[in-house]
């Protein structure tokens, strides 16, 4: 009972037809559903932005999706509007087994700061509360799957490793955005941090 499956952002907007579609993002859903039965704890995360969120290119005059900007907390990629609170795009993929979730963690809900990681917002300081939840349940080992490999999955895995969890990323149950080589950089970064890529 010390192992948790963390399912990152398997939401409509990251799947084909969505606002920030990840190529074949929906391919991983059946495998993730099957994997849930092997874990005593299942946690889903949900990217959950207010309209006009500061990570949206549309909130910055003259900027386009996938441009980079400098925020008070550091560099930030700009995205198409996505995962707006309460929208269909923010909903989980309809085939994802949400009933198996012990907890659903929402992130990115503050207008002025993005949150790729399930543990900390993009200032790397503001906690989401997930660490406290896992600690109270005595969970020490995390398996991560979901979308996208090179953003929310890798940021979550790096923070998890930094916090002392044993972290495995099941690469076959993730899909990447791959912006300017971000997938390779993410895989290298995770390996360097002691995350196991399975
Ligand atoms: C994500 C970009 C913006 C992700 C979320 O889930 O990887 N990427 N928001
Ligand atoms: Zn987002």
Cβ-in-10-Å burial (0-12, 13-18, 19+) of 87 comes to middle
With a Cβ cut-off of 6 Å, ligand 1 is lined by 9, 14, 47, 79, 116, 147-148, 151-152
Q: Is 191 a residue of the active site?
A: no
pLDDT at residue 1, rounded to an integer: 81
What are 160-192's pLDDT values in tens digits?
999 999 999 999 999 999 999 999 999 999 999
What are 129-150's pLDDT values in tens digits?
999 999 999 999 999 999 999 9
Ligand 1 centroid from CA 60, angstroms: 18
Distance CA 22, CA 189 (A): 21
Q: Is 9 a residue of the active site?
A: yes
Give the closest residue to 19 by CA, choosing from 45, 71, 57, 54.
57
Q: If you ran DSSP here, which 8-state letter would residue 26 be given?
A: G
Residue 50 — pLDDT band, cuts 50, 70, 90?
very high
Ligand 1 centroid from CA 82, angstroms: 9
What are 61-119's pLDDT values in tens digits?
999 999 999 999 999 999 999 999 999 999 999 999 999 999 999 999 999 999 999 99
Using the predicted structure, report yes or no on whether residue 41 has a pLDDT greater than 90: yes
* pTM of structure: 0.98
Q: Span 190-197, mean pLDDT?
A: 98
Show the CA angle centred on residue 188, arms to residues 90 and 127, nearest 5°: 45
Ligand 1 centroid from CA 8, angstroms: 9
pLDDT at residue 115, rounded to an integer: 98
pLDDT at residue 192, rounded to an integer: 98
């Amino acid at each position: 009972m010390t192992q948790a499956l963390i399912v990152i952002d398997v939401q409509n907007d990251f799947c084909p037809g969505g606002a920030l579609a990840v190529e074949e993002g929906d391919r991983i859903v059946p495998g993730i559903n099957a994997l849930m039965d092997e874990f005593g704890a299942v946690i889903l995360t949900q990217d959950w932005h207010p309209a006009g969120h500061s990570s949206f290119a549309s909130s910055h005059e003259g900027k386009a999706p996938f441009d980079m900007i400098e925020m008070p907390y550091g560099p930030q990629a700009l995205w198409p509007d996505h995962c707006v609170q309460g929208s269909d795009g923010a909903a989980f993929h309809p085939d994802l087994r949400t009933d198996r979730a012990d907890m659903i963690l929402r992130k990115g809900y503050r207008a002025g700061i993005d949150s790729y990681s399930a543990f900390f917002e993009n200032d790397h300081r503001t906690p989401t509360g997930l660490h406290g939840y896992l600690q109270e349940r005595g969970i020490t080992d995390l398996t991560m799957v979901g979308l996208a490999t090179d953003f929310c999955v890798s940021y979550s895995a790096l923070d998890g490793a930094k916090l002392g969890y044993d972290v495995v990323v099941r690469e076959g149950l993730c899909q990447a955005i791959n912006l300017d080589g971000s997938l390779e950089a993410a895989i290298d970064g995770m390996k360097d941090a002691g995350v196991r890529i399975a």
